[in-house]
Structure 1
Amino acid sequence: MDSQNWIDLAQDADTGIETLRAHFKGHAYDPHWHDSYLVGITEQGVQQFNCRRTKHQSTPGKVFLLEPGDIHDGDAPTEGGFTYRMLYLDPVWIERELGALFEDAPLNSQLSFANTLITDPQLMQATQMAFQTLHGGELKIVRQTALDNLLGQLTRHLHWRTRYGADPRLPLVAQKARDYLHAHAHQDIGLEQVAAATGVDRFRLTRAFKAAYGLAPHAYLVQLRLAKARRLLASGEQPAAVAMELGFSDQSHLGRWFVRAYGLTPAMYRNRCSNLPDMTVGKH
């Protein structure tokens, strides 16, 4: 590979989804196809490719969508080359997840992309978030939420989705889910377990929870863990031990969430905790 080109490839252990971030100058790759669905965004530059007998130019802000078997190539028509992010979604995984995410999804659900290159800010944001959470090895429930949102955006205009109506079970769902999160806050739970405990699909679960509490279930669970982290740090435990005890992949992972919530690192909080007000999430 040319020294100006680079590829950063990872695979999510739970889903098998591959995440790719790469940069190319000049010729990128010859015509080829994949047996996966490809959902990607161009970060920088112009990504030019031929697909479905049309020449496309993807620029930042656009989302490119390829189905299994779509033959495509790639090159950089401009001086600086291009950088892009891509998710490779297995068709078997998609069928299974759509059935779990939407209980009203038709059997043998698969995606069909009318356009290879589209401008859709919501889908672009969902693609970006799914890539970041998978590539960065986020908590299981955070990764699953991002993927659910991506599938929700990809199916937003399908006929069966537009008919997805209200559900009389929803008023109790949020309360049941909240109780479940409090009872299992120390475990690496997934959305499917919370959905099973409440008796609805994941889409309805997330919608009901956000309506009731203003946060998605994954964000609420993170806040529960951070509240516990504050208590452990205040009692003198080391950040690395706290991260391990609360299910964060490592100390830096805990640190990123902690700084976003409280504006300082776990170590700084441990040193100064007596000067901070109590902002823990309590169960009322």
Structure 2
Amino acid sequence: MSTLSSSILTPNTMFSSTDSSPRFWRDARMPYVELRHISDARQICYAPHSHSHWSLGAVTAGRSTFCYRDASYRIQAGDMVMMNPHWVHACNPIESQPWAYLMLYIDAEWLSQLRYQLGLLDAPEWQDISTAVVTQPNLYTEYCDMAACLLDDQQAIGDKQMVLRECLSLMMQALAQDPPVILPQVSCELEKIAAYLRVNCATDISLERLCQQSGYSAGHLIRTFKQHFGLTPHAYLINQRIQMGQQALKQGQPIVEAALNAGFNDQPHFQRTFKRLVAATPNQYRHSSSK
């Protein structure tokens, strides 16, 4: 990374407080990235969920449990975790032990373009990354310096863009030698059901309707859908609604409007579900340090 990072606060000075409130950084001039950081995550619990973007996190203090698809990992300060788009995951405290973390959310199309420009992909199309946990001090330091740069209000936007690109380029090159991901084949019927849920998540969709579309019985549909996507059709639908709500809140929509537009009947239901999947309230998420 450039010498710019040498003037930035170190992780130890940045994350030494006991503030348990999650904080989010984003900038309209960099719409392809969002950063979450929290200094005291003992009470931060996630239900299993997924995102449409690629995520890269770093544990900056303490220890926690990282559940990713069918595997579970004990991670600690200095470890980095990564999550492919649409892969179900959750990261939670260990018996209320203190821990702190940073989490970067990157637009998959933007990252695909970067990997293609680096010569790591044959085409600028998303390709899953097989690695789940990385413990490499040099990459960890680069990541923390990059996060500090993004969070620093005194840094110019051009410097933030450069540092982010340099950090992710190093990470992608380090991961390039990993074996490709080979996932079980999924039927066209299940893919169509998932696509239908994504497009129509704000509407009421019954299990009976999904069974009619797929030709599956209710039990078979639920079982096979969860086996491939990590969530039942209903949980997948709710997960999509929360992602829609997040996008609305990013754009400054009032919470009640975001809730109704995402298919929730009332604001309290939206708030409870949002906190369960995002581990933050809609108000905390909406009032970020965005520009």
Between 1 and 2, higher relative CO (CA 8 Å, sep ≥ 6) is seen in 2
